[in-house]
Amino acid sequence: MLLSPKYKFLFVHIAKTGGTSVRAALQRQRRRDPWALPIFLCNRLSHLSGHRLAVKLPRHAKVIAAKELLPREVFDSLFKFAFVRNPWDLQVSSFHHIRRERSHYLGGHEDFASFLRWKLDPERPYQYHLDTSIELQSDYLIDLHGAVVVDFIGRYERLAEDFETACGRIGIAPLPLPHRRQATDRRRDYRAYYDDETAELVARHFAGDIALLGYRFDPD
């Protein structure tokens, strides 16, 4: 999550949706914000205390965290936006990210299908780096009553165009997005990773996202 009181925006960073590029592009605006230093100091203090002080909005916090922590008039004044991604594609991206950078979280499951079954098994013990990508993306966008409270939902599939729209809503000139890191060992089309069983497994687990965001396994 990225907050700028000066530019009045709140970016809700959902994992594996291009958010790292968005954050990097917005860093200059963040550094120009008079509140940047106080926010940085609070973040450092939170870190040094073992995050016992509840003064930091975590990188992948849901929008409800900001709604509950910020004064209502401040929250309402912010342009709140996020990016989402096709759930089937997101799971392929997550698999390659974990295999490349945190292979010890694979749990001995080296191929995508077996890893996905294990990952989405409700009996599996909680592991943070896995569970951030099995949470519903829609949960990052809603309040306690289930109402969507972000003002703009961009799509990973058209990241550059939608980020340009977000910049316009913030009131800044369009910013270039840094190159998105791609896994070099993945096939481009996520559908090649699935059979009928695993595709349906994702469809059931992420039914809420599919209903709200309109994604399908075979896009138009």
The model's pLDDT over 80-95, given as tens digits with 9 standing for 90+, comes to 999 999 999 999 999 9
Per-residue model confidence (pLDDT) at position 29: 78
Q: Which residue has the higher pLDDT, 93 or 103?
A: 93
What is the phi/psi pair of residue 176, to 5°?
A: -70, 140
Q: Is the pLDDT of residue 183 over 70?
A: no
Find the mean pLDDT for residues 105-125.
89
Between 183 and 123, residue with greater pLDDT: 123
Question: At the topology level of CATH, where does 2-213 sit?
Answer: Rossmann fold (3.40.50)
Q: What is the pTM of this model?
A: 0.88
